[in-house]
Copies of this chain bind each other. A is one copy, B any other.
């Protein structure tokens, strides 16, 4: 059985990321780009500066041009990490929101397809702005139907989850990963996923162990183990999956089988 951490951000130094994986018995990690490096700052004031930037991004408060240049830099960093350890790392690449349909398609061709990324995200449109994702779905219908990874924790709401479900229904051949499984709204996340077969549930940042426990019972083939490192530890999330699982076969699916199938990893 291959264990795959299906969502972690690029950490510095890479040795630290690899040690997190080794501690958890993780064979491969799907890396996502990052705008900040919380793992590098040690005091609270510096950390707060970093995290406030992240909160601005998660709230969708950044200007498009700023986001684009930041993404270009972080994509380079992401590619570098993968190239150095291709046996350990695979990648999802970032795509800016709020640009036109053709520009979105161009970005995906030039930054996602060219770099061999297996999916797109993490998207954080901000509450009330899920509609901004539609250009991404439109482009992906032409460009390979790569999975779309969306942050659905705070500040995203239950209403935002419903908007995501509508998009997933409209573009039902594009897989959509509900990052952090809806946060406090995890019950809604499970319910919309039960209704819509292209929705997947990501386990990072679970607020209660009951959420993954029910998800694994209801949708064993669509639950995905992930750490969201450096915000979580793959070892701790793996222990949670193993603790709450009621079936060893399901544990294997969640820890690696499901994401392998979704991304055609062998």
Contact = CB atoms under 8 A, between A and B. Distances in A.
Range of interface residues on chain A?
20 to 34
A214 interface: yes
Contacts of A218: 44
Interface in A232-266: 232-233, 235-236, 239-240, 243-244
Given A51-B187, A218-B44, A207 B153 contact: yes
A47 interface: yes
Contacts of A210: 38, 230-231
A183 B239 CA distance: 22
A26 B67 CA distance: 47
A159 to B, nearest CB: 14
A244 B233 CA distance: 9
Contacts of A208: 205, 228, 231-232
Contact of A214 (B47, B232, B244): B47
Given A209-B233, A232-B209, A236-B240, A214 B44 contact: yes
A233 B244 CA distance: 9
Interface string A33-46: 00000100000100
Interface of A: 38, 44, 47-48, 51, 153-155, 183-184, 187, 190, 205, 207-210, 214, 217-218, 228, 230-233, 235-236, 239-240, 243-244
6 contacts: A44-B214, A51-B187, A208-B231, A210-B230, A210-B231, A235-B243
